[in-house]
Structures are given as C-alpha cells and as structure tokens.
Structure 1
Amino acid sequence: MVDLGRPRRGSPARYRQIACILTRHGLGFLVDRLGLPRPDRPDRGTPSQESRHLPPTLAARVRLALEDLGATFIKLGQILSTRGDLIPPELAAELGRLQDAVPPEPLEVVEEVIAEELGRPASAVFASLEAEPLGSASIGQVHAATLLTGEQVVVKVQRPRVAEQVEEDLAILSQLARVAQRRTSWGRVHHLPAVVDEFAATLRAELDYVREARNAERIARNFSGVPDLRVPAIYWAYTTQRVLTMERIDGIRIADRAAMQAAGIDLRAVAVRTLHMSLKMVLEDGFYHADPHPGNFLVGPDGSVGLLDFGMIGVLDRPTRENLLYLLLALVEGDADRLVDRMLALGIVGTTFQIEQMKHDIRHLILPGAGLPEEEPDVHRFLDGLLTMAYRRQLIVPSSLLLVCKTIMMHQALARRCDPECSLAEVLGSYARRLAVESYLPHRQIGRVLTALSDLGDLALTLPRHIHRLLLETEQGHLTVNIRIREIEHVLEVLNRLVNRLVLAIVAAGLTVATALLLQAYRFRGVEWIAGALLMAGFVAAVGLALWVILMVVRRRHH
C-alpha cells in the first residue's frame, strides 16, 4: 500500500468510507488501483450479497457510487459528464443522469443558518418561511418565503458544514489524482491533478452565493433589452455567502409540455426563444448559464422564459467566441475543411492525429451521407460525435470548449421538448450569419484595429530591448535553451524500475550459484553442518529475492 501523503483535512475515516462505498457498488478494483485502504468489511452486507443487486453496467455502478459519496462527488460526476475527452461516451451519458436530490434539513436548522448569516432571527426578516422546501440538493435547499415588506421571494440556504466536507473531499481527490497520474497512462495523458484543480475552483464558486447573485445580475444586464427573458431580482440586504434571497418567479416547468399547451402557450416560439437565449449568451456575451437542465427554466403565461440557478457559469473570451461562431457556421454549411481549421484554432490538438483523418471523421459527423448538401446537418450529432472522437483519438480539448458544447446540446434538447420539429441548425444558421455580418460593421472593426495597433505599438517599443538582451547573452555565452521531452520522467522511472529488478534477479541467481559452490567446497568430514547452514541461508536469500522480484512484476501489471 502506497503512502498517499494525506492532508490533515482528508481524514482516515473519510478514506475508509470512500473505500467501503466503492466496494459496496462493485468497484473494489478502484480501491486497489488508487491505493485506498481495503475495508475489513463493507458497510452494508457482504460483497456476495450486494453483488446480486448491482446494476449490470459499470457506468451505472459508478453513478450510484457517486450519489452515495455525497455533494462533492455528485458535482464531480456532473462535471465529468461534460468531459467527453476524459471518459467513454456511455459513462458520460450515465453521469448525465446523476440525481442531486437528498432529504431536506429541518426548518429549525434552516432558520439557524439564516440567523447566523444575517445576524438576526428569520422571523425578523420574513413574515413567512415555508417549512416544505421547493427543492433540496446536496449543497443547499430552496424555500418559498414572504418578506416583512410583502414581497414574494425564494431563499436558498446552504447546508451546515457542507463547505468543510467539500474541502475535505477536494483534498482527498487531489491526492487520488496524483496517485492515478503516477499509476495509469490515462492519468498522465490527461494531467488529472490539473483537472481536479479546475473542478475544485468551479465547486468553490458554487458554494459562494454572493458570486451566484452577481452572476444573476450580470445575465439580467446582458438581457436588459430582451423582455422575453426573466431573471429574478436579488435582495442584497438578505444575501450572504450561505444565504441567497431572490425574487420568486412563477411559471410552468419547460418540461411540462401538456401544461403549456393547456395554457395556450406557443410552444414553437418558446423553443426558438430558448435557442436564441443560449446563442446570445454563448456567442455574443461570452457569459452563459452552464446548467440548463429543465428544472431551471419556467415558462410564463405570455411565453416568456424565466431562468433560475446561476451557480454554474461558463465564460468565453472574444477570440474563442469568434472561432466558435465560424465553426458552427462551417458546420451548418457542411464545410469540413473550415471546420477542422476552426477546431485547430480553438486549441483542439492531438499528438498522433492526422489532419486528413480528422477531416474524414468530420465529414461523417456532419451528415450520415458523408456530407451530402441536400441534407440538414445535425448539430447535436456533430457535437456529441466530436466529444466521442476526442476520447477515442485522445485529443486535447480545452475544458471551456467541452462545457459550451454540452450546454448547446442541452439547450437543443430543451427546445425539442417544447417542439420536436424545432431545428437548431436552422436557428443557428440565421443567427450565426447575422453575427458574422455584424462583426464586419465599421464600429466593430474600428475597435479591433485600435486594439491591434496598441499591441503593435507595445511590441515595437519592447522588441529592440529583447533583441539586445538576446544578442548580449549569446555573445557572453550565457544563452541557454531548455528542452523538455514529454513523458520523459515516466520513461526514466520505468527504466529505473526495470534496472532494479534486473539487479535483484542477478543477485538472486548469484546467491543460488554461490550456495551450490560453497556446498561442494565444504563437503568433508566434521564440517557438514557448516555446508548445511550456508546452503540454507543462501537458498532462503535467493528465494526471498526471487519472490520479491515476482511480486513487483505482478503488482506492476495489476496497477
């Protein structure tokens, strides 16, 4: 068992609990792979008893284990469901079904958190606070309430001690990521510690309700001229890092198609409105709602769309938005060559991936008929196929691009719930073409030209100094070139292990030969016992070393 170097926040009890839950769900091989402490017995039943009730697929067992492990691991699974470059498609699809619903905390506990955060009792803020929450998740729960001034609000309250548990779990995940990177090629290729660090930053942001409130206000400002989108107003006087008070928005859940039809709502208009909202956030604002599941959308009687829950937000800079715009436009037009060019510009690379093979794959992703112009491209099929291709080809895809792809796919699924005939390709085509034309308008180009001139001016001022320093270091013989070969550390580590095993094997063989020679040399009357002792000692040493070499080989193959 390796020493994980556990941080103080990663308690041994939590490590054992993780190992027990993994074993209970038929994932004991992960316990060994990650060097977790083997549980003496599962925390519920025996392995043989539990195996009768396990789901047949590995992906389903992983999902259930993550749900049992709590808030941090549920969020990890939800993030991984967007990372088609890291995990197989079937696992990504299964993790998309993760249920973040747990029994709610009692109202008394909720009121204690409110009093602690606001510095006064809940009764001094709210005229009423519903005991039954509107929703309950692993991090917090939402209650309907009425302010003393009469406004109808909802209050989002974080569970007690959830932040401490999340920090402990993040510390453990960081350690396990380093172990996985050392022990598996998958971990090394994808640099798992960096993936965990990025996930940790995302989760910590979700724990901060002040940040969520600011996210909501920024999206409200971005849509200030769009009356068809409603964003709840924030009541800052009653908002802290663990308590969020916002306007209550009423409406029909976007997944309830029958209720919207009964209310006389134009489903086609709602579907198109949802897609326009998504495209505006992604392609124009660069600040988008990254958790567009049906529970976060309410449709008003007039067909307006209300947006909820701003904890998970994606951000795209201007160059990324422009490249993504032209990538989607090339997709709609069925141009595989331009698609590949934009993919490379977005930072999608592969160590052994050939450009022509990529174009071949892209043509089959765009259309089932390998790019027939009379067929309409399926945007969802392309994006889903792109994630699958990234995993199969071991492409390096920026995580921000993966998240936005998943978000667009989820928005298309929402639109299809309202109107199965709604075409994202049609909406996207007209929207992207309009943006492409607008990008060449004079006022847009003036800004870009001024920025480029400013950068060029800075370069002109600093370039002579850099050239002078380079020439001076070259003349003085101080110029050094640092070259780093990828994976060279891993190669050296493997060679070091092989050499160590070879040395041990040679020593074991030498002891065996020396024992035989000593036996022959001391075979005379009166000292037979010396020969016997030497023979036994050499034999034991040789067998011990041989077993040690075999054990290391077996353990290496196992891991």
Structure 2
Amino acid sequence: MSNTPEKIKNYYKFIHFMLKYWNSDLFRQSSAAAIDPELSDQDNDHNFDQSPDELVEDLKAMGPTYIKLGQLLSTRPDLLPDAYLKALANLQDNVSPVPFEEIKEIVEEELGTKISKAFNYFEEKPLASASIGQVHRAELLSGRPVAVKVQRPGIANKFMEDLETLDEMTALAVTHLETARTYAIDDVFAELRRILINELDYKKEAQNLITIKSNLKEYENIIIPEPVLDYSSTRVLTMDFVNGKKITSLSPLRRMENDYSGLVDELVDAYLQQIINDGFAHADPHPGNIKFTEDNKIALIDLGMVARFTPELQENLIELLLALSQSNGQKTARSLLKMSTLNENSQKHEFLKQVSDVIMESENSRAKDLQTGRILIQLNRLAVQNHIKLPVEINILGKILLNLDQIVAVLDPEFNLRAAIQENVHEIMRKKMLSELKPENFFSTLIETKNLIEHMPERMNKISENLANNEFKIKIDAIDEKRVTDGFQKVANRITLGLIIASMVVGAAMLMQVPSDFQIFGYPGLAMVFFLLAAVGAMVLSYVIIFRDENLHKKK
C-alpha cells in the first residue's frame, strides 16, 4: 500500500494524462465510435490533436507501468486507430541503466554469494536496459558464457503502486462512464495486471524458457537460451548468452546474398506449433525480442510474456487459420462466431458480410504488405462494431502474427505467409493426430469404457423395470413449467376479475331503474355502490397491467 504523498503524486500524474486525452478529438472520436461503429471507419483519415508518436512519448514519461499498458493497448483495435496501434506495438521501454553498485548488491543478495565467487567476470556495462530489468554479459566459473537479467531495485513496489492507482480509477470509470463499460476497461486492466505480475517473477520466465525450448527442440534453426537455475531467482535470471543482432538491423547486402525462405518457413512453423499443438506460445515476438545470429539462426531471448491456449480453443484456431490461409471469408467469420460471446445486439449477418469483404481484398498479399496480423486486427474491430465479443486469445494471436509479419518482411519480402500457414497447419495437424493415437492417451477412454460396461446391466435393469411399472419419466428443463403455469393462472385471474367488474357495471345499470329510499348523489344507493366498486377494481387492474406487468416493464 503506497503512502499518501506517493498516492497523491500517482493520482496527479494519471489525472493530468487523462485530462489531456479526455479533451482531445482522439478520445472523442473513439468514444463516439463505441456508440456509432460507422464513425470508426473515419479514424484512419482523420488528423487528431495528438500524433501516435506523441502518445508514445507521453506513456514513456508516465513510467514503466504505462509503457506496458501502451504495449497491451496495441492489441485492442477497438480502442484506437491503426496508426496508433502500430506506434504502440513498436513501443520499446529503453531507459537509463541502473548504477552497477546497485545491480551488484541485488545479484549478491539473490544468489547468496559474491559476484567474484559466482562468475569469472561480470560486465558492468549492461547490454540492454528496460523498465523492469537490465541485462549484463557474464561468464560462469565453468567458462560458460551467460546473460544475466537483473530486476531494477524497487520496481516491483513501483508497479504495484501504479496498479493500485489504475485499479481505483478503473473501478470509478466503469461505475460512472458508459464509454468505459463499452470498452471493457476493467478487462484491459485485469489483463495488464496479469501480464505485469508474471513478468516481475523471473522464476516463471525461466520455466517458460525450459518449456518452449523443449517444445521446439526439433527446430534446428530456432534457438531458445537455456536458463541456469542455480544462478536464478525471482529477481535474477541467468541464461545462455546468444551473440547476435536485432533482426530488423539485417543489412540489405546480407539479405541479397542469402535465401532465408527456408528459415522463415521454419520460424512460422515453430509459432504455429506453439499455438496449435503445444497450447503454450511466446506472446511477444517483436523485433527487439528476436536476435539473428552470425550462423543465420533465430534466437528468442525474452519469454516473460507467454500465452496459453486451451485444447478446445486450439481446435477453433486451426479452423480459423485454415480459413484465413484459404481466403475464405465465410469460413473465417463462422470460425470467429463459434468462439465468440453473443448478445441480443449482435449483428451476425453484417459481420459475415464485412469479414468476407476484408478477406477478399487481401487475397493476394505478400509478406512485405504486412497483411496477416493486420487482418486479424481488422476482424477484431469488426467484431466490436457488431457487438460480438471475441476471446482475448484472438487479440494475442493478432499481435503474434503482426510481429511475425515484420520479421518475415525483413527476411523474405515475397514470402507467402498464407500458403505457409496452410501447409504447416496441415502438417502440424497430422503430427497432433499421431501423438493423440499413442497408447497412453487411450487410458482415460479405456477407464470410462470399463465403467460404462460395468454399470450397463444395472442401468438397463432399472430402465426396463420402470417401463414395466409405467414409472419411466423424461425430465426436460427446456421450459420452466412453474413459470408457464403461473402465467396461465395470472391470465385466468385477470379474465375472471374483468368479468366480475363487467357484471358489476351491468348490475349497477339495471339497479338504476329500481326506486330506493337509500340514495347516493341522488341515485339509487345500491347501484352506486356496485358502480364505484367496479370503477375501483377497473383502475387497480389497469394499474397492475400497465405498471406492474413483468414483460411490459422489461420492454420499457
């Protein structure tokens, strides 16, 4: 829990940022698009008050938590125009390095020994410095070259303070603002919290490295650094050092001298394997997290952010990727609808038509057009416009493919990513089916079959006995019998009451012709009593029907 002065500072920083963008036409246009989806089509042609670069710089100035928030927003095409999504997707969090004395103190505290006793050498100048930690090159006593990632001092507390502020502000926004509820800001924040908490624990990243390295062991040209668990902790991660350069810095001459199409195909296959077969994928393959080695191999060096896909979702993603690779708009839309959440406002037919149009327009695209990931982002936007909620994993898949587009475009601009997806998906499906045919995968089925056979005679005897005694019953929960019965009873009661009121009016009219000493307002008293009772009953019945009827109330 942060202290009061720090909380006030955090609130001031957040409110100052929000006021700037709240009053901007970027926010107004996005808010209006949430109400009127047709306005979102104008976003890409509109010049907003704040440019994409300005938004990026403002988020950097806000601090590391908001940098991560910006990176997360890059997967939300329903919130911002394409130019802003692209700027946020490339948002890097390079910051000034921490003095080596502080780094040394953290390493020695976490490893429980002096740096000089754990390493032959430990370079003071970091290789890279980011918002959560910085990386130093070192060598173990065994001579093994390693990279040591060290968490910045106090960063965990800083993140938690910012998350506390965001949590409170998000709750207020969702409670009082329709726009915040439309955009599901609370879901965005929940995803940010999950990502940050995982990235703050280097033990989880070490386990991610081990898992993905094992899953991709068949890919000779894909390198995953192996962690050194004895030299790792929650705040220190030691792993193999990979010597290479940022993949986007590859020189044009080197690209001309080499054919990287095979390497690109292997990279695409490796990511499809993670998504479709393993259900555990590197979720942030942006160029800064991927190195190109001197021997023409690709290394994934930062696995703090991973995505998990359930078996059911994996099957749906197979259908989706195949439909995309075949440029089949109808199949693509139906695959998305199958895994979506719909409501009474969902416009399925419009969605089907719009998806088909998008797929047809991009049918002959190549890697240099950066289309595959962008298409998924467009489909996400179309889903939001048509009140269809896609699972968050579709956003993650869009981000993965968008980053892959950039890498593939550098290595082989003419690469046909769709054809590669189609070919590799079929091969991965074949491997998946073969793996599922292994004997160990039949054990659970055999146990269930055994239980079914054991209990079958007893159940059949019970069914035949109930049939013989005329006691066999089938219970269907499709209709609420009590609700239907209550409805009929309510109708019958109102009809009966209406007949009684009508009879009282008719009786009062007839009694008006009978002379009587008892009079009310100069009319026969008994007739007036019946008439007044009928009037009161009619007014009560009308009130109940108009103001208390459940169905009418819901329609209003």
**Do Structure 1 and Structure 2 share a fold, with TM-score over 0.5?**
yes
3-state SS in 1 of match to 2:237 = strand
3-state SS in 1 of match to 2:361 = coil
**Aligned ranges 1:417-428 → 2 under 5 Å:** 417-428=410-421
3-state SS in 2 of match to 1:291 = coil
Deviation at 1:169, TM superposition (A): 0.9
**1:99 aligned residue (92, 98, 101):** 92
Structure 2 partner of 1:203: 196
Is residue 382 of structure 1 aligned with residue 371 of structure 2? no
Is residue 23 of structure 1 aligned with residue 16 of structure 2? yes
Structure 1 partner of 2:305: 312
Give, as a single letter, the amino acid of the residue that structure 1 aligns with 2:163.
L
Change (3 A) 1:161 1:441: closer
**What is the CA–CA distance in structure 2 between the aligned matches of 1:189 and 1:445, rounded to whole Å?**
47
Change (3 A) 1:156 1:318: same
Structure of larger gyration radius? 2
Give, as a single letter, the amino acid of the residue that structure 2 aligns with 1:379.
T
3-state SS in 2 of match to 1:367 = helix
Change (3 A) 1:171 1:93: same
**What is the CA–CA distance in structure 1 between the aligned matches of 2:236 and 2:397, rounded to whole Å?**
28
Structure 1 partner of 2:291: 298
**1:357 aligned residue (345, 350, 353):** 350
Tell me if the contact between 2:10 and 2:165 (Cα under 8 Å) persists in the aligned partners: no
Is residue 124 of structure 1 aligned with residue 124 of structure 2? no
Change (3 A) 1:453 1:27: farther
Tell me how large the CA RMSD over aligned residues is: 3.7
**What is the CA–CA distance in structure 1 between the aligned matches of 2:5 and 2:233, rounded to whole Å?**
33
Give structure 2 stretches of 5+ with no counterpart.
Answer: 25-47, 460-472, 485-556
Is residue 289 of structure 1 aligned with residue 287 of structure 2? no
Deviation at 1:372, TM superposition (A): 9.6
Structure 1 partner of 2:389: 396
Tell me if the contact between 1:72 and 1:166 (Cα under 8 Å) persists in the aligned partners: yes
Give, as a single letter, the amino acid of the residue that structure 1 aligns with 2:171.
R
Aligned residue pairs total 440
- Aligned-residue sequence identity (percent) comes to 28
Q: Deviations over 1:97-156 (max 9, x none)?
A: 323011000111100111111112212212211121110001100001112222111110
Structure 2 partner of 1:254: 247
Tell me if the contact between 2:377 and 2:395 (Cα under 8 Å) persists in the aligned partners: no
Deviation at 1:225, TM superposition (A): 2.3
**What is the CA–CA distance in structure 2 between the aligned matches of 1:280 and 1:73, rounded to whole Å?**
32
Tell me if the contact between 2:219 and 2:266 (Cα under 8 Å) persists in the aligned partners: no
**2:231 aligned residue (221, 238, 247):** 238
Is residue 180 of structure 1 aligned with residue 165 of structure 2? no
Is residue 430 of structure 1 aligned with residue 423 of structure 2? yes
Tell me if the contact between 2:166 and 2:189 (Cα under 8 Å) persists in the aligned partners: yes
Change (3 A) 1:480 1:73: farther
Give, as a single letter, the amino acid of the residue that structure 2 aligns with 1:320.
L
**What is the CA–CA distance in structure 2 between the aligned matches of 1:424 and 1:23, rounded to whole Å?**
43
- Shifted more, 145-154 versus 199-208: the winner is 145-154
Tell me if the contact between 1:83 and 1:403 (Cα under 8 Å) persists in the aligned partners: no
Deviation at 1:260, TM superposition (A): 7.5
Change (3 A) 1:118 1:317: same
Change (3 A) 1:271 1:260: farther
Deviation at 1:427, TM superposition (A): 0.5
Give, as a single letter, the amino acid of the residue that structure 1 aligns with 2:311.
R
3-state SS in 2 of match to 1:252 = strand
Deviation at 1:397, TM superposition (A): 1.8
3-state SS in 1 of match to 2:248 = coil
Deviation at 1:213, TM superposition (A): 0.3
Change (3 A) 1:457 1:87: farther
Change (3 A) 1:315 1:299: same
Tell me if the contact between 1:231 and 1:307 (Cα under 8 Å) persists in the aligned partners: yes
Change (3 A) 1:387 1:250: same
Structure 1 partner of 2:130: 137
Change (3 A) 1:381 1:70: closer
